[in-house]
Amino acid sequence: MSAGPDPAASGGSLPLGRIERMLLAGVAALLALLLLWLRGGLHPSAPLDRLARQSPDFATALADGRPTLVEFYADWCEACRAMAPAMETIEQRHRGKLDVVLLNVDNPRWQPQLERFAVNGIPQLDLFDAEGGPVGRSIGARRLEELEALTTALLQGQPLPPLAGVGATSALPDLPAPDNLEEAATTATTIGPRSHG
């Protein structure tokens, strides 16, 4: 009595049984969930995304009689993402007393503000008083304690704390024009916010 050719012996493969198919589908589903989680897909309301979505309009924030903290950021910026939970805490603690505005450097809509506030690296925080006047700037990622110190000074109208990368803003004097275009071309540098410069 012949049972027929054995598929495994002839180089073929045995059909998967029901248990193996279910196990394979389960592993594939777990891998898909892991990949989604690693890319941030399970966190649709991650702090940076949430802050950006609820951010008030820049011009409105400067005119509403509250101090304003503006963060120039990008979705791909790891330092911006790392700082986002602390920024969210600041926004929640001081809601109604402070406006937290996020401006994405990759959005062409904000190009005039990038130029106006000389954004050449991110994250960059620009601080404004209740009248909308510039008070200071902070370059680089900040811990919650540092953000709280900046915010407290801003809300109380006090000088900014002496932190590395923090300084008051002031108008720059007009610089003399170069004598010729060639000199201007050799001394000019192009630095943008995407350079982390």
Residue 188 lies in a domain: no
List residues with catalytic annotation: 77, 80
Residue 27 lies in a domain: no
Hey, what's the torsion of the CAs at 118, 119, 121, 127, to 10 degrees? 100
Residue 11 lies in a domain: no
Residue 24: predicted pLDDT: 85
Residue 147 lies in a domain: yes
- For residue 162, give the CATH number of its domain: 3.40.30.10
Residue 174 lies in a domain: no
Look at the chain and report how many structural domains it folds into.
1
Residue 7 lies in a domain: no
Burial of 46 (0-12, 13-18, 19+ CB in 10 A): middle
Q: Of all residues in the chain, what percent carry a pLDDT higher than 70?
A: 72
Residue 67 domain boundaries:
47-168
Residue 37 lies in a domain: no
Residue 100: predicted pLDDT: 96
What distance in Å separates the CA atoms of residue 71 and residue 125, rounded to the nearest whole number? 5
The answer, yes or no, to whether residue 163 has pLDDT greater than 70, is yes
What distance in Å separates the CA atoms of residue 129 and residue 82, rounded to the nearest whole number? 26
Residue 108 lies in a domain: yes
Residue 3: predicted pLDDT: 54
**Mean pLDDT calculated for residue range 103-126:** 94
**Structure confidence at residue 187 as a pLDDT band (50, 70, 90):** very low
**Structure confidence at residue 19 as a pLDDT band (50, 70, 90):** confident
Contact 79, 123 (CB under 8 A): yes
The answer, yes or no, to whether residue 180 has pLDDT greater than 60, is no
Residue 34: predicted pLDDT: 73
**Structure confidence at residue 80 as a pLDDT band (50, 70, 90):** very high
The answer, yes or no, to whether residue 5 has pLDDT greater than 90, is no
**Mean pLDDT calculated for residue range 138-149:** 95
* Structure-model confidence comparison of residues 88 and 6, the more confident one: 88
Tokens coding 87: 């920024």
